[in-house]
């Protein structure tokens, strides 16, 4: 069985299809999933969906929302039983608009980190065109906080830095892309106990659904590609990545 460790069932794209999407996921070996908040109403909705379908949730303010959303959106829900992580949070310097809000992003990021330490919860980290900036901040907290760099798409050097911090690599649909050679090579050389899988649905659908709307059922394709790269069976990858997710998110404790 698989765990999709990063999905956005709490946004409008899924609003009228939740029953179908959750059933389709379970029919494709998905044992559970983490519904990730990005600020505002999305945190509340993530928890509502997690309760309704017996899933998991995280609460956070996405870096793209750092200048316009309140951290109270996180504090309000962090103690809910379904919440297993803080985030997504981090830094995003891809868009010109986001480059202008870097100071606000840094302040918001640090608030998430400090809350994660206080609550003994892992962080879900968003990094886009901002690896070094994100890494330098997290280095200050090394040994005090863990989590996952979600949607990891970089190379072996960055992967080793992440793992040295005590964080996991979140692998998604990009792993299946033909042009993701550096990522595919890096994955072969990292500790298997530091890998978890995700979809980031509705974004970044894996092959053979690339370019279409992603959904949690498609995390299976990530596991199949990972099995190919690691020369393992699909069942072995399912077991490894599920155990890693259970450890990271303290499931069953």
Q: List the chain residues with pLDDT less than 50.
A: none
pLDDT in tens, 128-160: 999 999 999 999 999 999 999 999 999 999 999
- Domains in the chain, start-ordered, CATH in brackets? 2-248 (3.20.20.140)
CA–CA distance, 156 with 219 (Å, rounded to integer): 22
pLDDT in tens, 28-67: 999 999 999 999 999 999 999 999 999 999 999 999 999 9
CA–CA distance, 253 with 241 (Å, rounded to integer): 18
**Cα-based distances in Å from 213 to 14, 25, 100, 206:** 10, 14, 30, 10
What pLDDT is recorded for position 252? 80
Residue 57 corresponds to which tokens in the numbers above? 């949730």
What pLDDT is recorded for position 250? 97
249: three-class secondary structure by DSSP: coil
What pLDDT is recorded for position 219? 98
């Amino acid at each position: 069985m698989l765990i999709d460790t990063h999905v956005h069932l709490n946004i409008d794209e899924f609003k009228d299809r939740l029953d179908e999407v959750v059933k389709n996921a379970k029919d494709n070996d998905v044992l559970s999933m983490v519904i990730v908040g990005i600020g505002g109403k999305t945190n509340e909705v993530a928890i509502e969906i997690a309760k309704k379908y017996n899933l998991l949730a995280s609460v956070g303010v996405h870096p793209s929302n750092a200048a316009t959303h309140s951290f109270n959106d996180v504090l309000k829900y962090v103690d809910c039983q379904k919440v297993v992580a803080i985030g997504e949070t981090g830094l995003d310097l891809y868009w010109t608009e986001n480059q202008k809000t870097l100071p606000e992003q840094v302040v918001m990021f640090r608030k998430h980190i400090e809350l994660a330490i206080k609550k003994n919860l892992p962080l879900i980290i968003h990094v886009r065109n901002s690896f070094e900036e994100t890494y330098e901040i997290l280095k200050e907290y090394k040994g005090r906080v863990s989590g996952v760099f979600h949607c990891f798409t970089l190379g072996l050097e960055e992967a080793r830095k992440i793992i040295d911090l005590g964080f996991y690599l979140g692998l998604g649909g990009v792993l299946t892309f033909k042009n993701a050679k550096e990522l595919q090579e890096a994955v072969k050389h990292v500790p298997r106990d530091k890998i978890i899988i995700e979809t980031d649905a509705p974004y970044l659908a894996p092959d053979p659904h690339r370019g279409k709307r992603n959904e949690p059922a498609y995390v299976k394709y990530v596991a199949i590609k990972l099995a190919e790269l690691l020369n393992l069976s699909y069942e072995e990858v399912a077991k490894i990545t599920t155990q890693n997710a259970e450890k990271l998110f303290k499931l069953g404790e």
